[in-house]
Amino acid sequence: MTGLFKHISLTSFLFITVYSVTSNADVDNGKDLHNSNCTSCHVSIQGGDGSGIYTRENRRIESHPALIKQVKRCRDSLGVPWPDEHVSDVVEYLNSSFYKFKK
């Protein structure tokens, strides 16, 4: 496989992965899932209502793909049985409420 073909294949894979995780997202469901599964941990880390973890100056997430990856990482760390549709909902809630990344 040539280097260019590998790059095109990887780029296509990443686009499909990102698109499949964000299409038809339900922001209201994402907010509910976030509030019932994520907030308590973020409060223990950040204090207050926990949302400071998204707005702090040195936040780690700098792109939409990184946000998807982080939500999946948190899901897996907590053992929350979310299908990709729920991940998509939470990502879209976080993006529309805090990050405002272009897709």
Total domains in the fold of the chain: 1
- The neighbour count for residue 37, using CB atoms within 10 Å, is 16
State residue 97's pLDDT score: 97
State residue 21's pLDDT score: 47
- Provide mean pLDDT across the span 75-99: 97
Q: Is residue 2 part of a domain?
A: no
What range defines the domain where residue 58 resides? 22-99
Give 75-92 as a DSSP string: HHHHT----HHHHHHHHH
pLDDT exceeds 70 at position 66: yes
State residue 24's pLDDT score: 86
Q: Is residue 46 part of a domain?
A: yes
**pLDDT tens figures, 40-54:** 999 999 999 999 999
Q: Is residue 1 part of a domain?
A: no
Name the pTM for this structure.
0.77
**pLDDT tens figures, 3-24:** 554 545 444 444 444 444 446 8
Give 54-82 as a DSSP string: HHSTT-S--SHHHHHHHHHHHHHHHT---
Q: Is residue 15 part of a domain?
A: no
